[in-house]
Amino acid sequence: MSHNNTLEFLAGASSALQGRARVPGDKSISHRAIMLGAIAHGTTHITGFLEGEDSLCTMHAFRAMGVAIEGPEQGRVTVYGVGLKGLKKPHHALDCGNSGTAMRLLAGLLAGQDFASTLVGDSSLSKRPMKRVIDPIGQMGAKITASTGGRPPLHIPGNTALHALHYQLPMASAQVKSSVLLAGLYANGQTVVTEPAVTRDHTERMLRAFGVQVVSEGRTVRLLGGQSLHACNINVPSDISSAAFFMVAASIAGQADITLEHVGMNPTRTGVIDILRLMGAKIDVFNAREVGGEPVADLRVRNAPLKGIVIPEELVPLAIDEFPVLLVAAANAQGQTVLTGAEELRVKESDRIALMAQGLQACGVQAKPTPDGMVIEGLGHEPGLRYEATHIDCQGDHRIAMAFVVAALRARGVMRIQGAQTVATSFPGFVEQAAGLGMQVRAHQPPGGPK
């Protein structure tokens, strides 16, 4: 996949947002549906699959290991499962692209195979820390080797008799928890993972949908190795992390009344709604239902005068991916917002604390980064109050790019956002959907584009 590093977004102010949108499928669930469908017995039918580059990397990886997969065709994917032990040795390194989820979960799943494998990623992923999965998987018996500092590529030995593990996660991370649980499927005995704070539980829910007995008690999850998975149908909810951009946009716009359909409402992911409501946002949840073990609902969001808050630390892991745009909400609120306990943001696709602080400061917002968060003095919501548009390089971080498109709603002038090409990894069609709701944004290829 050629990454064109010169795609820009040009975004400006907009007075009114209205309409309905169904944002693309949840990335976390799309990855897991392919992985579990591949090692299940029988045929798994997936609808609402996210056709972004990250989830497609996971699909290509399993095709390279001999799994027949049809699609994606308008979000429909068919996976012909090969069972727990049916994967074949790939002829080349498996490319995880920009996806930390793919690499961390695959590391656990591949540790239990009887063949060796290698995981590689793009330049951004190759800088991200993998030691946090290498260590627990190593304690189960699989000695994964990596580059300096525990960074990709990862070499996974295979042919290892894995033994079960009682693992205390040093930090709240759903990816590490999931990686250990997937390795646990291939281990002798009962694998137990305890986390310091609750994180997203898509892996546990989906394992149950595939017929695996997984016991969750508080912050502890248990799973007995050797259980078979049985194919099922997965209807992927819309990604709440993608919906969050439009929730904040509608909240800070001069006038707005939008409806976001079929949004995933997993309680481990709804921190963004809780935080926005604490700030005074008007978000109504209706038509709640359950699809494939995951709760979904429709959300109606209207403009509201937001106020600054001290963000409760227990909500931080439940909204970790949404902070770039939540910080934009804070910049538009009345008074001070304080974020703490979010050091995880410094090791995402970029150092999101540093980049958001720089971008907001360039707009004239008082945003002070701290080691584990930020203090923001909000602009307030009087219609005449605006900050300055700026030129920002989001360094290929998709969530920073989209956050500044939302920030442009209250800016004077045109916000120029460089490095927006990775938005396709998590939110294909973002510009079209944003424009459809009334936001002023277009993608722009500067002259002298990609060589």
Q: What pLDDT sits at residue 156?
A: 96
Residue linked to tokens 């525990």: 150
Which of 98-102, 265-269, 433-437 tops mean pLDDT?
433-437
Alpha-helical (H) ranges within 65-145 are 100-111, 131-139
**Is residue 285 predicted with pLDDT exceeding 90?**
yes
pLDDT tens column, 131-179 = 999 999 999 999 999 998 899 999 999 888 999 999 999 988 899 999 9
d(CA 303, CA 249): 8
Out of 26, 54, 321, 397, pick the active-site residue.
321
Q: How confident is the model at residue 451 (pLDDT cuts 50, 70, 90)?
A: very low
**Is residue 66 predicted with pLDDT exceeding 90?**
yes
The full set of domains in the chain, from first to last, is: 8-24+237-444 (3.65.10.10), 27-235 (3.65.10.10)
Q: How confident is the model at residue 344 (pLDDT cuts 50, 70, 90)?
A: confident
User: How many other β-carbons are positioned within 10 Å of the β-carbon of residue 62?
Assistant: 24
Contacts of 384 (CB under 8 A, 6+ apart): none
Q: What is the pLDDT of the chain when averaged over all its residues?
A: 93
More confident residue, 124 or 85: 85
**Is residue 109 predicted with pLDDT exceeding 70?**
yes
**What b/e string do you get for 364-397 counting C-beta neighbours within 10 Å, with b at 16 or more?**
bbebebeebbbbbbbbebeeeebbebbebbbbbb
Nearest residue to 94 (alpha-carbon basis) of 59, 127, 135, 128: 59
Q: What pLDDT sits at residue 293?
A: 79
Residues 278/29/232/163 CA torsion (nearest 10 deg): -110
Q: What pLDDT sits at residue 396?
A: 85
Q: What pLDDT sits at residue 352?
A: 92
Q: How confident is the model at residue 448 (pLDDT cuts 50, 70, 90)?
A: low
Q: How confident is the model at residue 246 (pLDDT cuts 50, 70, 90)?
A: very high
**Is residue 358 predicted with pLDDT exceeding 60?**
yes
Q: Are 40 and 87 in contact (CB under 8 A)?
A: no
Q: What pLDDT sits at residue 5?
A: 58
* Helix, coil or strand: residue 76: strand
Return contacts of 360-363, CB within 8 angstroms, 24+ apart. Answer: 360/327, 360/328, 360/331, 360/407, 362/388, 362/390, 362/391, 362/392, 363/331, 363/387, 363/388, 363/389, 363/390, 363/407, 363/411
Q: Is 321 one of the catalytic residues? A: yes
Model pTM above 0.75: yes
Q: What pLDDT sits at residue 2?
A: 38
**What b/e string do you get for 10-27 counting C-beta neighbours within 10 Å, with b at 16 or more?**
bbbbbeebeeebebbbbb
